[in-house]
Amino acid sequence: MESIGVFMPRPTFPYLENELERRFKLFRFWNFAQSDSDSIRALVGNTKIGADAEMIDSLPKLEIVSTFSVGLDKIDLTKCKERGIRVTNTPDVLTDDVADLAVGLALAVLRRICESDRFVKNGLWKKGDFELCTKFSGKAVGIIGLGRIGSAIAKRAAAFGCPVSYHSRSEKPDTGFKYYSNILDLAANSEILIVACALTEETHHIVNRQVIDALGPKGVLINVGRGPHIDEPELVSALIEGRLGGAGLDVFEDEPDVPGELFGLGNVVLLPHVGSDTIETSKAMAELVIENLEAHFLNKPLLTPVI
């Protein structure tokens, strides 16, 4: 397959990049000429850059988009369907890591782990004890989206003795968790609200001012989905004004730009979109990307087809 052209629009996990270069004819965006476009039969995207309509139109021989992510919001699926372009992603292998991080963010915000770390490192412990914080165990946890990741978060929260409820497009059978068809009701009955749904037109800004106010001044918002799930200016103002108790954010609306107003807030924990970024999971995701590409070009069934 060394002659098959694969396009990579931005740097990615080094193992994946090396394997692509070893197995295919890899074209990188930064040394790619438009004259190479006829050689491209596959594109490997990620959470930052996928395949929008303009990019798809610029690659006339494109057959498959294999994204190094579970999210599909950076791919124009409609355009891919029109062109007959196959699309794959990397579900399942990252579920545990993202779920772990969601619980970790909740613990970090409530137990003020980052602040406590700075307290010790800055030598302040010698001047007195750290302030009391809030427990996680037993808190009412609401989850937006009970798919693979949402279900894994629910399982972990339940292990902490947390009553779990959720909101999704429809009620899931036999979950054992309370379902709210109205997201405002979910927020009003949650102490911790975790965003774990896919980003679609329907879920864009699904967490707005009304949802934030329903969660309230003692509530904590955790986002391990996508930045545009939350109306970011409304979140910032709610935190500054004390209408929301705290937030743990792994994703933002305009990454890597993060609202500077959040930097000085002790009740906010910020991460650089690292939900699935462990060595083990990144390698498993990379291998799944490659296996999907190889399956396509060998005319075998795709492992994780989206289209």
User: Residue 175 domain-assigned?
Assistant: yes
At CB < 8 A and 24+ separation, what contacts does 36-41 make? 36/5, 37/61, 39/5, 40/5, 40/6, 40/7, 41/4, 41/5, 41/6, 41/297
Cα separation, 62 vs 83, in Å, equals: 9
Three-state secondary structure call for residue 1: coil
Whole-model pTM over 0.85 = yes
2 is known as an active-site residue? no
Catalytic residue from among 28, 83, 209, 273: 273
Check whether residue 147 and residue 58 sit in a common domain: no
Type of residue found at 189: N
Catalytic residue from among 22, 169, 204, 255: 255
User: Residue 306 domain-assigned?
Assistant: no
Kindly report the backbone phi and psi dihedral angles of residue 15, in degrees, each rounded to the nearest multiple of 5, phi listed first.
-60, -45
User: Residue 307 domain-assigned?
Assistant: no
DSSP 3-state percent helix, strand, coil across the chain (nearest 5): 40, 15, 45
Buried b (16+ CB within 10 A) or exposed e, 22-40: eebbbbbeeeeeeeebebb
Q: Average pLDDT over the chain, rounded to whole?
A: 97
The model's pLDDT over 77-99, given as tens digits with 9 standing for 90+, comes to 999 999 999 999 999 999 999 99
255 is known as an active-site residue? yes
User: Residue 303 domain-assigned?
Assistant: no
The model's pLDDT over 102-136, given as tens digits with 9 standing for 90+, comes to 999 999 999 999 999 999 999 999 999 999 999 99
The model's pLDDT over 169-198, given as tens digits with 9 standing for 90+, comes to 999 999 999 999 999 999 999 999 999 999
CATH number, domain at 200? 3.40.50.720
273 is known as an active-site residue? yes
Question: What's the gap between Cα 130 and its chain centre?
Answer: 32
How many structural domains is the chain composed of? 2
Catalytic residue from among 226, 229, 232, 234: 226
Sign of the CA dihedral with 285 first, then 291, 294, and 296 last = negative
The model's pLDDT over 39-61, given as tens digits with 9 standing for 90+, comes to 999 999 999 899 999 999 999 99
Which domain range does residue 62 map to? 5-93+279-297
User: Residue 61 domain-assigned?
Assistant: yes
